[in-house]
Amino acid sequence: MAKSREAAEQLAQLTITIRRDIIFGAYAPGTWLKLSDLQQRYDASAFHIRRALDQLKNDKLVDHVANAGFRVATLDVTARAETLFVRTVLERSAAHLITARANTDDIVELRRLAQLFDASITEEGRQAQASANHNFHAYLYSIARNVVLSETINEMRNRSGQFTAGRWRSVEGLQASSRDHFAIITAIEERDPYEVEQAIVNHIKAF
């Protein structure tokens, strides 16, 4: 039973790891995912790689082509546009609450989290960047002090991950995201809700 639970946990973690790499640009849409390459990259068995890819197929992040294998799913343009529209509406509405309610400790913590993301840029893969980015944005929207709003924004951000335009596929793109984070913090420090809103909207559009 213990071994079975451990194997299930390993598979779940492997799936999360591959999902993050796909979502945040380690693989471009349409890229064929060679089993041998994935085994080496993720230090996992062929069996577990296939199981993880099957789950990602169910999540519509990868496609399975008979007698050919798995490849990263291509973008659904309509779904991307609709998801980013909803994100923009929600995150713009949070900007004014964040500006009004952020205190000195909040700004210090945001800057710390932004610095952690910036420091992660050169790390291989997208695991460190994805985690640091999530932590920054989760804290940012928690400052609005509206649990339903912040939870809904986090849900939409997670959903929109598969629709990335590929900004994170280069170090330059990651650095641009980092600059966006600091621009948001600066606008909050200056208590300019419209500048906070614009910085957030620009960040969404670039993604």
In the sheet that holds 32-33, the strands lie side by side as 32-33, 69-72, 62-65
The pTM score is 0.77
Residue range 77-206, CATH number: 1.20.120.530
**Angle separating helix axes 193-206 and 171-189, nearest 10 degrees:** 170
Question: Which helix (H) or strand (E) is 143 found in, with range?
Answer: none
With H, G, I as helix, E, B as strand and everything else as coil, classify residue 124.
coil
Class of domain 2-72: mainly alpha
Q: Where in the chain is the domain with CATH 1.10.10.10?
A: 2-72
Residues in the chain: 207
At 96 the pLDDT is: 96
Q: Where in the chain is the domain with CATH 1.20.120.530?
A: 77-206
According to DSSP, residue 126 is labeled: S
Q: What is the mean pLDDT of each run of 10 residues along the chain (207 residues)?
A: 76 90 80 94 94 91 92 84 92 97 98 97 83 94 97 85 70 94 98 97 90
According to DSSP, residue 74 is labeled: P
β-sheet bridge partners, residue 87: none
